[in-house]
Amino acid sequence: MSNNTENFDYAVKEFIAAHKPECINTDWFDVQDHMRTEAHYQEDGRRDIEVRGHESRTGNPIVISWYEDCWQIGYYILPFAERQTRQDWTVEIVYDFDFDMTIDMAIDLVQEDNRHDLVVTEWRDGQPYQEVDIEEYLECA
């Protein structure tokens, strides 16, 4: 079971603690909203937000990170029998943080773009967690 809420709650506490007290007023500043809005997405589900040096307790920039669930789509452009070059054998990888969008994209990749050996993998806490049975969704599409 993923502990995204715990990861995020801990990151919020770290973010507040990393600031000089005069640089962050939690009475009027919604830290959670700010972090969700301003943090950068990394492909493995990690989110990063920086406390600028002039606002941090140390005087140096501090990066606060946490993980959110995401989904990875891996596929090949060509079918197995037609792959010859290194590029042909290089898997294409796409990440998304929205499950429904990921499934829609996977269906389009198979049905409209004719992609091959497509696999959808759920990521939790920055690591592959489990594969999603895309066949079930393809049958319903």
24 and 49 belong to one structural domain: yes
CA distance 87 to 112: 22
Q: How many domains does the chain have?
A: 2
**Among 93, 121, 125, CA closest to 4:** 125
Q: For 52-77, what is each residue's pLDDT tens digit?
A: 999 999 999 999 999 988 999 999 99
Q: Mean pLDDT for the chain?
A: 91
**Phi (first) and psi of residue 100, to 5 degrees:** -60, -40
- Boundary residue ending a domain (38, 67, 96): 67
Query: Does residue 2 carry a pLDDT above 70?
Result: no
11 and 61 belong to one structural domain: yes
41 and 75 belong to one structural domain: no
Query: Does residue 141 carry a pLDDT above 80?
Result: no
94 and 49 belong to one structural domain: no
pLDDT for 4 equals: 65
Query: Does residue 129 carry a pLDDT above 90?
Result: yes
135 and 79 belong to one structural domain: yes
DSSP assignments along 5-64, one per residue? HHHHHHHHHHHHHHB-GGG--TTT--HHHHHHHHPEE-TTSEEEEEE-GGGBSSSS-EEE
Q: What tokens does 41 get? A: 């997405």
- Boundary residue ending a domain (51, 67, 83): 67
Q: For 73-105, what is each residue's pLDDT tens digit?
A: 999 999 999 999 999 999 999 999 899 999 999
- The confidence band for 29, taking pLDDT boundaries of 50, 70 and 90, is confident
- Boundary residue ending a domain (67, 83, 107): 67
pLDDT for 1 equals: 35
- The confidence band for 126, taking pLDDT boundaries of 50, 70 and 90, is confident
**Among 80, 64, 65, 67, CA closest to 115:** 80
78 and 130 belong to one structural domain: yes
CA distance 85 to 78: 11
Query: Does residue 132 carry a pLDDT above 70?
Result: yes
36 and 92 belong to one structural domain: no
62 and 14 belong to one structural domain: yes
Domain that holds residue 129: 70-140
User: Residues of the chain with pLDDT > 90: what percent?
Assistant: 72
Mean pLDDT of 117-140: 92
- Burial of residue 33 (CB within 10 Å: 0-12, 13-18, 19+) is exposed
30 and 75 belong to one structural domain: no
